[in-house]
Amino acid sequence: MNDQGMTASSTTSRAHTITALLLIVCVAIWAFLAWNAPIDRVQGVIQKILYVHVPMAIGTYLGFICTALGGALYLWKGEERWDRFALSSAEIGVLFAVMMLISGPIWGKGTWGKWWSWDLRLTLTLLLFFVYVAYLLLRSFTEGSERAARFAAVYGIAGLALIPLNYFAIKLAAGRSIHPENLGGDSLGTGMGWPFFMGMVAMVAVFAFLLVRRLEVGSLRAEQTRRLALANREGMT
């Protein structure tokens, strides 16, 4: 490796270290605030899952919004990097969705007395999860296909329609939902605002950290694939 390559590698390594440390600090502050937040007088300590569950939902939405954005840019520009961006975002969005679907029933069991109910929001959340799991399965079975990438881009954009439906599900249910209303400025009690806000900030930071790392892996894989293809062509000549 030449000096320029070593310098770039060293710079990247330092950037990784700095961003990882910042992320650890951010998550540590979030955990500290959530731990010391007051206990809800109605739900008790189980209410503290709020500081995990809702930020996970934000990470899920952010992942699938980025998937649709990447797909739209891929259809417009035809550049492979936007396809990788869409795929990486979908993977991270599904990861957040899994954690959201785990934390939600735990909260539900402690609050409602049951793990699951076919409530409109719960049903739409599960459907949103399966839609993007199907997206990932499609990509895994058709890797390298431009036609499949274009179809996946359209599919990822169409799946985005479930996010506003999911968010407004409580209003659409017209009082038949077991979920409370969406959180507003006056929904949280005294001392609960900061841990909730920091949870949102931490999850956005975690999402960005994972996305950047996943994009780096995707770029390295794409470069390796190009080199192998070039080597095979040269070997055939």
More confident: 3 or 109: 109
- Alpha carbons 159 and 64: distance in angstroms, whole number: 8
Lowest pLDDT segment from 33-42, 55-64, 65-74, 136-145: 136-145
Quote the pLDDT of residue 2: 47
Enumerate long-range contacts of 102-109, CB under 8 Å, 24 or more apart: 103/49, 103/52, 103/53, 103/56, 104/53, 106/46, 106/49, 107/46, 107/47, 107/49, 107/50, 107/53
Reported as a single tens digit per residue, the pLDDT across 20-64 is 888 898 899 999 999 998 888 888 888 888 899 989 999 999 999
Quote the pLDDT of residue 60: 95
Tokens of 85: 């961006």
- Alpha carbons 225 and 8: distance in angstroms, whole number: 22
Quote the pLDDT of residue 102: 93
55 C-beta neighbours (distance < 10 Å), count: 26
Reported as a single tens digit per residue, the pLDDT across 165-215 is 888 877 776 666 666 665 555 567 778 888 889 999 999 999 999 998 898
- Alpha carbons 96 and 60: distance in angstroms, whole number: 5
pTM for the model stands at: 0.86
